[in-house]
Amino acid sequence: MSTEKFPNIDLEKERKEILNAFRGLLRTVQDRSKEDTKFIRKAFDVAVDAHKDMRRKSGEPYIYHPIAVARICAEDMGLGATSVVCALLHDTVEDTHITLDDIEDLFGEKVRLIIDGLTKIPEVFDENASVQAENFRKMVLTISDDLRVVLIKLADRLHNMRTLGSMRSDKQIKIASETKFLYAPLAHRLGLYSVKSELEDLAFKYTEPEVHQEIEDKLKSTKDVRNRFIRRFTAPIREALLREGYVFKVKARTKSIPSIWKKMKTKGIPFDEVYDVFAIRIILETPQELEKPDCWRVYSIVTDFYQPSPDRLRDWISTPRANGYESLHTTVMSPTGKWVEVQIRTERMDEVAEKGLAAHYKYKESKSGESKFDRWIGEIRELLENPDVNAMDFINEFKLNLFNDEIYVFTPKGDLRVLPTGSTILDFAYDIHTDIGNSCIGAKVNNRLVPLSYQLNSGDQVDIIRSPKQKPNDEWLRFVVSARAKQKIKSSLNEERKMIAQDGKEILDRKFRHLNINFVSENISKLERFYKVPSATELYFRIAKGKLDLSRLRDFEVKNGLIQDQKKPSTRKRKDTDVYKKVDKKSDVIFIGEDFKNIEYKLSQCCNPIPGDKVFGFITINEGIKIHRTSCPNAEHLMSKMAYRCIKASWKSEELKENIAAITVYGIDRLGIVNKLTEIVSNQHNVNMKSISFETDDGIFEGHLKVLVYDTEHLDQLMRKFEQVEGVQRVERKMMKEDN
């Protein structure tokens, strides 16, 4: 926006105000040398000149924006001169005549790389979800280049949110929603508490304006009462701390408006019943080597006056959070019967909590070994480097890493691992190493044997049990929660699927040569459509599994090695409510997996039929047709008393997916028989175990297994192998209801 639209502006007055804003910025840059000051002044001069004819929507000179962004970097994040320079220049390459080469000539290669990273990130994401996801991926990609790119981008977003009032309302809601969805959680994960809180509050102001205003008014109206309460509550603590000779500050932090609203919604309570509207923060000035004992001593003083809630003690000093946050939190009962949260920390901890990453690295040298934050960055880098993860998957997995709270779990040697809340044995195994995850069959947690799906708790000690015969399966994806585990399992499954598909490709190639059909993409595409499969890989996979009838290729007309299109009758989409009248019970057959007269049919849960079972259809009154096994407990009743509602059914081009089947094994209890049976399941190709339980009585055992199989052929093979085990008397397939 040029100056022409604003003719009545006092340019001389503006120039003075811009200089004052710049001097204010310089005052916030900590520990700057004379060279730093010259470096920043040079960037300021270049930016002022480049943006001299530009104005923001509000009408103010554009240069105020880069100055404000630079000030957030210095003041709220504690970043140094290089970041301030980059913040001042962050829009020059995209919006003015200045090029990246100019930046490098004037400020060096490092500044060029950061500006280049910032220029690649679009300001407002596209309406298209997948493009938006790809843009966000580009931004996070810069984490592996230079974290300052992401930090400056967060500062840029914060200033844009502060000045969002001059935008159109639809743009306001879009930018606010995007901020709440990605930028605020990212700030939280980078440890920038004050930036995260302000981003959330500003986003809430535009997405829920009425609620925001209502809570803001209530906070203002109760401010005096709150302040009186805080003075009375902290008075005895202050006196005791002074007597003990501590140098300290006491602050009261009011809970953010979005946090208050979230508490009101989740608990179903009004504003007046939100007990933790504020928290008391005690900040000690103490040497680093005395931090831990001094914080616990202050905790002791606080609890001398007020009774603590044992369930609400949080020790993030002994085990800091992944973003570097350290503090001791307790909730105590005040004399008026209200719970009050008290946070105890040192000045160093407070700086890390407020300024996050920059402060974290400033103090990091005193800590031994790799920080949890570095591990998180490593996980993100791994996600980025995986070529199989598309942009939308990346967004979902990255958000997993942003939002999850943590639990603290120990290895057998006592090493601490930080995992998302809800993590299972498999998440832990993959956190240690991919190979350990892929070969994990269970674990001992606190010396007790548990399955792969067992959810871990803070303080658990985990010893992984492995088997070289184990390999990942689709079921695993249902109970892992960490992005790393999900990505590793998907990669492993894709690799196995590709290997099986390669066999199918060779089978099809031989068949094509036999029928003089060319192995070209045009022919493959026609087969995908004919067999109704989504991709060539899926086509090859099903061929390898013997699930596609390749003899049907003979029905195609072939000219010059190319398959000709077959004309097929179009299926009707009309929905008829009177199912009974549409079916000819004598001649009609339902081929499961194909359309049947546009009538809905589904597998019955009472007997759980799987491909290969002998089945029939039963016409219900208002639930379409249900497919039952002929051996179903209800079959005799249905086929004898209501035969007029029964129709023939058969398996044809069913989708290739795993189905649950139940088996009961009877026999004589012998040493090692359970191991033998589970070994057979793990060695049996394409059979996965869902659950297993055994009961013994006077030397006789009864084993109940639920397995995931593709069809009856696989199930029969498994049952025959069980029958061959010494001590097994008989093996039966049991009826079961599908798991909820």
Alpha helix locations (H) across 208-305? Answer: 209-221, 223-243, 257-267, 291-305
Cα separation, 57 vs 160, in Å, equals: 11
Helix (H, G, I), strand (E, B) or coil at 317: coil
List all residues 6 or more positions away from 739 whose beta carbon is below 8 Å from its beta carbon.
Answer: 660
Determine the pLDDT at residue 352.
Answer: 80
Place of tokens 């589904």: 602
Place of tokens 């689709």: 474
Nearest to 423 by CA among 447, 390, 400: 400
Cα separation, 663 vs 683, in Å, equals: 17
**Homologous superfamily of 659-734 in CATH?**
ACT domain (3.30.70.260)
Cα separation, 160 vs 676, in Å, equals: 65
Report the Cα 225 to chain-centroid distance in Å: 41
Q: Going along 447-588, which residue ranges are E strands?
A: 448-450, 462-466, 558-559, 562-563
Nearest to 126 by CA among 72, 174, 54: 174
DSSP state of 454: P
Determine the pLDDT at residue 140.
Answer: 58
pLDDT tens digits along 25-44: 888 887 778 888 888 888 88
Determine the pLDDT at residue 429.
Answer: 92
Do 199 and 187 touch, CB atoms closer than 8 A?
Answer: yes
What's the mean pLDDT in 471-490?
84
The residue annotated as part of the active site, out of 49, 95, 285, 738, is: 95
pTM: 0.55
Cα separation, 667 vs 328, in Å, equals: 58
Cα separation, 505 vs 484, in Å, equals: 31
Q: How is the chain split into domains, by residue range?
A: 3-212, 216-364, 492-563, 579-651, 659-734
CATH number for domain 216-364, candidates 3.40.109.10, 3.50.50.60, 3.30.460.10, 3.40.50.12280: 3.30.460.10
Q: Is the dihedral of CA 37, 43, 45, 48 positive or negative?
A: negative
Q: How many CB atoms lie within 10 A of CB 21?
A: 17
Helix (H, G, I), strand (E, B) or coil at 461: strand
Angle between the N-to-C axes of helices 257-267 and 209-221, in degrees from 0 to 180, rounded to the nearest 10:
100
pLDDT tens digits along 70-125: 888 888 887 788 888 888 888 888 777 888 888 888 888 888 888 887 776 655 44
Model confidence at 63: pLDDT above 80: yes
**Homologous superfamily of 3-212 in CATH?**
Hypothetical protein af1432 (1.10.3210.10)
Q: Is residue 12 among the annotated active site residues?
A: no
Determine the pLDDT at residue 2.
Answer: 47
Radius of gyration of the chain (CA): 33
The residue annotated as part of the active site, out of 60, 94, 102, 347, is: 94
Cα separation, 76 vs 87, in Å, equals: 13
Model confidence at 143: pLDDT above 60: no
CA atoms within 13 A on the CB side of 287: 2
Six-digit token string for 104: 């490098």
Six-digit token string for 34: 């004379």
pLDDT tens digits along 323-335: 678 899 999 998 8
Q: Is residue 94 among the annotated active site residues?
A: yes
